[in-house]
Amino acid sequence: MTQQLKLAGLAVLLSVAASQAVAQEKLKIGVIVTLSGPAAALGQQVRDGFALGIKDLGGKMAGRDVEVVAVDDELKPDVAVTKVKGLLERDKVDFVVGPIFSNVLQAIHKPVTDTKTFLISPNAGPSSYAGKSCSPFFYVTSYQNDQVHEILGKVAQDRGYKRVYLMVPNYQAGKDSAAGFKLDYKGEIVEESYVPLGTLDFQVELSKIASLKPDALFTFMPGGMGVSLVKQYKQAGLADQIPVLSAFTVDESTLPAQQDAAVGMFGGADWAPNLDNPQSKKFVAAYEAAYNSVPGTYAMQAYDAALLIDSAVKAVKGDLSNKDAVAAALKKADFTSLRGGFRFNTNGYPIQDFYLTKVAKRPDGKFQTEIVQKVFENYGDRYAKDCTPGN
């Protein structure tokens, strides 16, 4: 055998050994979400939806065992930075999935993407990274924040509501929600209330709503804020007088606490548990069996995040060393989304359908949102035009 052939054979053996080493090495994914305080239900849905996705994949991606490390950001940006650095430096994760809230995302985005680690957001989708600041290391399996609120603005306009009271939390996602609602709504905003994030007492705002008598209330109050608002709104006798158009205020994370007080209230979403396709029906049944609760968009988008990562890992045969190849594989989004049609825009945010939903009580006594109508089809966000791919 010639020296050249020997070297060639050795190279093949080394290549095989290297690929086997990659296959044997665990693939590590860090999940950073809010798991304590009034908003814990949102983070639990993401954690559980993602875990169900990994379970349905057999706990492996491209032959590599998957280890998930979940941490609580406590809804505190400074805590989130410390926790995410631990995931990157101590746990040496290959992907970071999270968070729930946009202010936390804004804190961790740079620390994660600067290390060329892929950050997959299963919920927060602020405008700040959808345009000029888009990144090949950042992907969103939910939506751009404005879009869900645009649904309600369009519905308010189409239904002829001439006067609307607007109430949102005073942080980035709250500001995005107000901007989103106003895109299609051309009527009068009788008042804009920006309340501190974490507010649980809305008596002052409810008194204003009662005196101004708007045609509708538009609000975005996630987690515990939504639970308190809906209960107080019902107790004030406003629920039967002034319809509520909301995003994330009445959904599967808040309904177990709101129950009958939320029935009939409207929301906007990219999915609901009664969406009629085989993969969604299977997911809802599996989630309810595993966690004894109804999954919301948080859980669905987290499950899709697991499938997205799996699609990319398979495309590169488990070898994550070529970051450009992984980014290209993520951008392809080569998986079957629970919501049906799903593809990425140039900015790593989805192009998808959006729906008006309404809270209903099921025959089994549980509560869920149900699709009323499709409002937008194959809808991409308005910031993508400012994103230059490969930034």
Is it the case that residue 24 has pLDDT exceeding 90? no
User: Amino acid identity, residue 329?
Assistant: A
CATH architecture group of domain 9-143+276-348: 3-Layer(aba) Sandwich (3.40)
d(CA 235, CA 72): 33
- Residue located via tokens 């089809």: 377
- Residue located via tokens 């959006």: 354
Same CATH topology for 9-143+276-348 and 146-269+356-379?
yes
**Proportion of the chain above pLDDT 90, given as a percent:** 87
pLDDT of residue 70: 98
pTM of the complete model beyond 0.95: no
pLDDT of residue 139: 98
Q: What are the pLDDT digits (tens) for 113-140?
A: 999 999 999 999 999 999 999 999 999 9
Residue 342 pLDDT grade (very low, low, confident, very high; cuts 50, 70, 90): very high
CB 60 within 8 A of CB 66: yes
Residue 2 pLDDT grade (very low, low, confident, very high; cuts 50, 70, 90): low
So where are the chain's domains?
9-143+276-348, 146-269+356-379
As a whole number of Å, the end-to-end CA separation of the chain is 49
Q: What is the CATH topology of the domain spanning 146-269+356-379? A: Rossmann fold (3.40.50)
φ, ψ (nearest 5 deg) of residue 321: -70, -30
Residue 39 pLDDT grade (very low, low, confident, very high; cuts 50, 70, 90): confident
47-195-358-299 Cα dihedral, nearest 10 degrees: -10
pLDDT of residue 18: 45
The pLDDT mean for the chain works out to 93
